[in-house]
Amino acid sequence: MRRAPVRARIRAGIRARRVVPLVAVLLAFTGALTVPGTGTAHAAGYRYWSFWESDGAEWTYATQGPALARPADGAVNGFRFAVSADSQDAAKPRETPDFAAVCGSMPAKSGAKRIAVVVDPGTGADAPDGETPPAPLAECARVDADATSADALAAVAKPLRYNSAALLCAITGYPKSGCGEQISDDGAASPAPTASRATGGLTKDDENEAGGTPSLGIVAGAAAVLTLASAAVWQARRRRG
């Protein structure tokens, strides 16, 4: 009568031994992606343009890329260039002007909207080797009523540069090279992993007209892998119980 529980424990042990290597592989995979916020011992963050929205009093990290965001007339969008580990660590634009301060002299127009665009190229400490950040700018973009934040940026801050994955690499030509590269503690840069197009909503043909945000596809993929790993551990424990 005691054999069934013993066999059940043996089967659970076998399943657990199968799950452990799977979890190890999944965690190793997420580590290779260098999930922003977890990082590695040698990773300081990524050098990239982050995208922000403001209510006129403070900046909030945007929940979608500028190619997907469709702000209303009177919105304030911001872009900041810096080395950041993740959205919680990301440096905000240093100035927070309200809409009236940027677009107050531009009257409303039927069929169009006005977006205040703030571009902060950051500090010399975050600049690529041999480059100096240009002066910040705050311009009013008048764009079509259904335009995106990326359209507004393109209206006032050209030239823009994108990579083959449609990630926003440069605003007003800064920086001249590089795109979302990983920066180690010793200052060395390595190319950024390819991000998912789903987050930027762009194709190759959209380059120089719209924009995207870096590393969001990596974060989403890593989160999915971590979810699978956690589920595998939970299932193994449930079977053992």
pLDDT one digit per residue (tens) for the chain, 241 residues:
455 554 555 454 544 444 434 333 333 333 333 233 333 344 579 999 999 999 989 999 999 999 999 999 999 999 999 999 877 889 999 999 999 999 999 999 999 999 999 999 999 999 999 999 999 999 999 999 999 999 999 999 999 999 988 899 999 999 999 999 998 765 566 555 444 322 333 333 333 333 333 333 333 333 443 444 444 444 444 455 5
Beta carbons of 167 and 181 less than 8 angstroms apart:
no
The whole-angstrom separation of Cα 19 and Cα 15 is: 6
**In terms of Cα–Cα distance, which of 145, 165, 141 is closest to 153?**
141
Structure tokens at 158: 């050209």
Residue 183: phi and psi, rounded to 5, are: -115, 125
Q: Per the omega criterion (within 30 degrees of 0), is the bond before 121 cis? A: no
Reported pTM: 0.64
- In this predicted structure, what is the pLDDT of residue 204? 35
- In this predicted structure, what is the pLDDT of residue 192? 53
Question: HSE of 194 in the Cβ direction (CA atoms, 13 Å)?
Answer: 5
- In this predicted structure, what is the pLDDT of residue 241? 55
**In terms of Cα–Cα distance, which of 133, 136, 142, 135 is closest to 96?**
136
- Residue ranges of E strands in 97-235: 112-120, 137-144, 161-162, 168-170, 182-184, 189-190
